[in-house]
Structure 1
Amino acid sequence: MCGRFVVNAQIDEMARLFTALTSNTVPPVPNFNVCPTNQVHVVRSGDTRRQLLPMRWGFLPSWYKTENAVPLLTNARAETIAEKPAFREACRARRCILIATGFYEWTKTPEAARLPWFIRRTDEAMVAFAGIWQDWGPETDRQSTCAIVTTPANQHMAQIHHRMPLILEPDDWPLWLGEAGHGAARLMRPGGEEILTYHRVAPAVNSNRASGAELDRPVA
């Protein structure tokens, strides 16, 4: 799964990397503790070119009456995404990419203490999470919402958690965004062992109110 992540890249860098036209309402950067329901940086395919847009992290199906309805759908499992009523239409027609620098995951000690880890790409490039999106709300107050697609963890990541975000390589972006025809389902598999690296970080990040550049720094 992915419960929180980091965005520490300039917006113009994101736009150049994804060759996207930037909305003037994207959230400010950096954010070292992106939490569910926050506005996040999302790339989706537009009529003539890609768009870099803000979306609420927390997918809202059309039948939700309020944005605080439960469950909070921040992740969508790759194994069932095409079957779940909440996700299946978005999986076919509304795929997107969420941009991150890295993400957090937690392990537990025998005493049940939560130990946080920061996970990033080994090449230190931006992380492209596969996502799906859905517009929600009345026509006078529509908002775009999204979820991150997850897969079973590869062997390397399984030492921390049994699931991981679906991370897309640049060559995969056109297919995932629907620009290269059909066949995106074949991308829904765990990434290779060499893609990610991780290190322990301080327990300050256990709070969703924590902020600051020190949150993703290594600790002994």
Structure 2
Amino acid sequence: MCGRFAITLPADAMAQLFAAQPANTLPSVPNYNVCPATAVHAVQAGGTGRQLSAMRWGFLPHWYKSKTAGPLLINARAETIAEKPAFAKACRDRRCLIPASGFYEWTKAEDGARLPWYIRRSDGAPLAFAAVWQSWGSADPVKTCAIVTTAANQGLSAIHHRMPLILEPEDWGKWLGEDGHGAARLMQPGAEGLLDFHRVDPAVNSNRAEGPELIEPFGEEDIPRGRLI
């Protein structure tokens, strides 16, 4: 799954990277602890080109009477997204990209303590998560989204059995619906060697934590980067 991530790119850099027109109001960056139910940056295709706008991370199906009427849907499984009533139409018609610098996952120590890891591209490039979105509410509609996840590749499976669906630049147009059909074929685990990871400070276990120190290596003298011991 993906339950927390970081975004450090300035908004104009994101707009340039995705060749998108930025909205006037976007979430503040950098944000080293992006949490569910908060606003995230999202890229979607439109009649006038790609748009970079804010969406609420937590997909709200149209039948929800309130934002808390059901489970907080922050992820959508690639294997079942096309059949799930909440996501099926969005999977066909409303796909978007969510930029990220990296994301967090957790393992458990022998004493049950949660040990956070920061995961990023090995080449240092930004990540583009595949996502779906839904406009919810009639009086004051809000765009909401969920990140698509796949089975983890072999390298990441030591930390978690799921991972976000990460798309390469040549696949962005296909996912956004600009390059015809075939988005379903993109829903595969990331290539081996795509990601690197290292332990980070347990301070990030709190959704109130903030600051660049959250993504810095923690205990590097004991735990080498890129593998578990």
TM-score bucket (shorter structure): over 0.9
2: CA distance, partners of 1:99 / 1:38 = 15
1: CA distance, partners of 2:206 / 2:29 = 19
Match of 1:166 in 2: 165
Task: Tell me the amino acid that sits aligned with residue 189 of structure 1.
Answer: Q
SS of 2:124's partner is coil
Match of 1:202 in 2: 201
Report the alpha carbon displacement of residue 144 of structure 1 after superposing the two structures with TM.
Answer: 0.1
1:59 aligns with 2:59: yes
Structure 1 vs Structure 2 CA RMSD:
0.6
1: CA distance, partners of 2:70 / 2:109 = 29
1: CA distance, partners of 2:210 / 2:29 = 12
Match of 2:192 in 1: 193
2: CA distance, partners of 1:69 / 1:214 = 36
Report the count of equivalent residues: 219
SS of 2:172's partner is helix
Report the alpha carbon displacement of residue 70 of structure 1 after superposing the two structures with TM.
Answer: 2.3
1:178 aligns with 2:165: no
2: CA distance, partners of 1:217 / 1:182 = 40
Report the alpha carbon displacement of residue 69 of structure 1 after superposing the two structures with TM.
Answer: 2.3
Match of 1:97 in 2: 97
1: CA distance, partners of 2:54 / 2:123 = 26
SS of 2:191's partner is coil
Task: Tell me the amino acid that sits aligned with residue 192 of structure 1.
Answer: A
1:48-87 CA distance string (max 9 Å, x none): 2100000000000000011122211000000000000000
2: CA distance, partners of 1:7 / 1:102 = 7
Match of 1:39 in 2: 39
Match of 1:9 in 2: 9
Match of 2:118 in 1: 118
* TM-score normalised by length of structure 1: 0.99
1: CA distance, partners of 2:82 / 2:167 = 18
1: CA distance, partners of 2:108 / 2:192 = 23
Match of 1:27 in 2: 27
Q: Which runs of 4+ in 1 moved over 3 A?
A: none
For residues 133-144 of structure 1, what are the structure 2 equivalents within 5 Å?
133-138=133-138, 140-144=139-143
Task: Tell me the amino acid that sits aligned with residue 48 of structure 2.
Answer: T
Task: Tell me the amino acid that sits aligned with residue 193 of structure 1.
Answer: E
SS of 1:42's partner is strand
2: CA distance, partners of 1:67 / 1:84 = 19
2: CA distance, partners of 1:142 / 1:91 = 20
SS of 2:119's partner is strand
Match of 2:155 in 1: 156
Match of 2:85 in 1: 85
Report the alpha carbon displacement of residue 194 of structure 1 after superposing the two structures with TM.
Answer: 1.1
Q: Which runs of 5+ in 1 are unaligned?
A: none
SS of 1:141's partner is coil
Task: Tell me the amino acid that sits aligned with residue 201 of structure 1.
Answer: V
1: CA distance, partners of 2:214 / 2:208 = 11
Match of 2:225 in 1: none
1: CA distance, partners of 2:140 / 2:48 = 25
